[in-house]
Amino acid sequence: MKINMELFSKKKTNIFLLDHMIEILLLVLILIVSCISPAFLTVGNILNILRNVAMKGVIAYGMCLVIIAGEIDLSVGSTVALSGVLIAWTSKNLNASFGIPIEWGALIGVVFAIAVAILVGFFHAWARHHFNMPSFIVTLATLNILYGLAAIVCEGFPIVNAFPKWYVFLGTGKIFGIPFPALVFILVFFAFWFLTEKTDLGRKIYAVGGNSEAARLNGINVWRTRVFVFCTIQVMCVLGGVMNSAQVRSATFGFGRGWETQIISSVVIGGTSMLGGIGTIWGTIIGVLFTGIISNAMTLLNVNEFMQYVVNGSLMFCAVMFNTYMTKKRN
């Protein structure tokens, strides 16, 4: 009986370690970096990390849904750029052509950018569902299309002096000393956590990602589920684009370029399976913080910028390999 209890306890410990490995690694990382750089654990630096990860983090939540549903969206970086450019272009041109104050012009631009993002998300779902085109190919195509459109709209140059004070606050403002983007990052986390953990729609997303045909036979509308996840991530890209352009107070086609790989890395590091059907929003926020802390640590330690690409790519590879290993161990 004693041996059985020991085996049972050992099994429970192993399961706990497997389920919480990313959290353990995050804590170890924080301890190591804080020992190397005393400036790391200061309040200012922690708030700086939260502000920096917020723009990609809100998109990572949407990417988590897409990957759980068994899909992928590579166009997110281009949507970030296009969103900022559309808002700045709308605000500036409405003011120049019709005398509409930029305070209202920027708001109209945000609505316009959201509408375009929803149309892009709908197109992704339509091409994937009705033509059975891999979402990898569809979104790879729109990545270049949207990038080109953003460059055409801004004519290859940054659009400046197009944002009012309320818009700039979205990227640079603080509430009770906490950066506004960080608050958005946390609030959006709770919204997505509730969606995936407490709603019927969340369960449908997991079902579609696990086996879309079985989900269809069980009465789940696979088409509507795909439309929802693809449109949701595009709207999150607009939110990220708003905060990004507000922070630098300008918009151009180059913003958001390459974000897709960093965002996917964060989601995969957080335990979401690229095969679909497995993943959590909690794991995603841990993955976002993990990559954000590593990036911050390399900056504090003056690590070469190009070396950061090597580190991020290596992390993604290791995360996929580790997730595959954990799945086999659980089975």
What secondary structure letter does DSSP report for 250? E
Structure tokens of 284?
A: 């995603």
Q: Which residue has the tokens 């509308």?
A: 221
Q: What is the separation of C-alpha 250 from the centre of its chain, rounded to a whole number of angstroms? A: 22
User: What's the one-letter identity of residue 181?
Assistant: P
Spans in the chain with pLDDT lower than 50: 1-2
pLDDT of residue 73: 97
Structure tokens of 303?
A: 């690590």
pLDDT of residue 214: 95
pLDDT of residue 331: 60
Compute the distance between CA of residue 132 and CA of residue 105 in angstroms, rounded to an integer: 39
Compute the distance between CA of residue 260 and CA of residue 244 in angstroms, rounded to an integer: 15
Compute the distance between CA of residue 284 and CA of residue 211 in angstroms, rounded to an integer: 22
pTM: 0.92
Contacts made by residues 304-312, CB under 8 angstroms, sequence distance 24+: 312/261, 312/262, 312/265
pLDDT of residue 6: 60
pLDDT of residue 39: 86
Compute the distance between CA of residue 37 and CA of residue 297 in angstroms, rounded to an integer: 8
Q: What are phi and psi of 270, to 5 degrees?
A: -75, 0
